[in-house]
Structure 1
Amino acid sequence: MERSATELMLKGYGLTTAELFYRMPDYRHVLNSFIWQEYDLAPDYPRLFAFIAFWQDEIEGPLHSVRFTHRKLIAAGEWRHVVKEFRLH
């Protein structure tokens, strides 16, 4: 069952964006890039590492490097205890 993005964020997932640099199969001296984005769980990143394993098994272009970033979109808010409220006019 596919979960919605909101459900994933409430469970602690954040948006992971990875840029994969790979060599072209026919022209090994040429680097190309591929952008991958998915909700993933830090610090283990199971979906990112599963995608990298898939790439290495199924895609002909060998990986050169991977650069990624992770951002939680829903975080704990700041709460302040308000004791008094002043009204003017």
Structure 2
Amino acid sequence: MASTAFVKQLEGYGLTTAHILYRLPDHPGILQTYVWQDYDLAPDFPELKGFLDFWERELEGPLHSVRVSHERLIKPAEFKAVDGMLTLH
């Protein structure tokens, strides 16, 4: 049986990485980094939005900024049609 990550990739999901900066609750002048990575659908990013909603609802460190990168790992094959024939003796 195929892994769930592979099945998601076949359904169009790509690897999404979010670099999250947030403020420490006790020291709001200090920024801390958190890196989140999962398979998600661009451009809506429902998985990431769900995680950020959870963060704002359950965690004390307020978000400062989120930088997102996304790449589909399984893509249509690229090929080039060649017009011609090469004969080797």
State the TM-score, normalized to the length of structure 1: 0.87
Equivalents in 1 of 2:11, 2:20: separation in Å? 27
What is the letter of the counterpart of residue 19 of structure 2? E
What is the letter of the counterpart of residue 25 of structure 1? P
Alignment RMSD (CA, Å): 1.5
Of 25-34 and 73-82, the range deviating more from structure 2 = 73-82
State the TM-score, normalized to the length of structure 2: 0.87
Within a 5 Å distance, the mapping from 1:1-89 to structure 2 comes to 4-81=4-81, 86=86, 88=88
What is the letter of the counterpart of residue 39 of structure 2? Y
Cα displacement string for residues 6-38 of structure 1 (whole angstroms, at most 9, x for unaligned residues) = 111000000000011000010010000100000
Could you tell me how far 1:80 is from its partner in structure 2? 3.7
Could you tell me how far 1:82 is from its partner in structure 2? 5.4
The number of residue pairs the alignment matches comes to 87
Could you tell me how far 1:79 is from its partner in structure 2? 3.0
What is the letter of the counterpart of residue 49 of structure 1? K
Cα displacement string for residues 32-82 of structure 1 (whole angstroms, at most 9, x for unaligned residues) = 010000000111100000000000000100000000100000011123445
Equivalents in 1 of 2:45, 2:80: separation in Å? 33
Runs (5+) with no aligned partner, structure 1: none
Equivalents in 2 of 1:24, 1:87: separation in Å? 69
Could you tell me how far 1:86 is from its partner in structure 2? 4.2
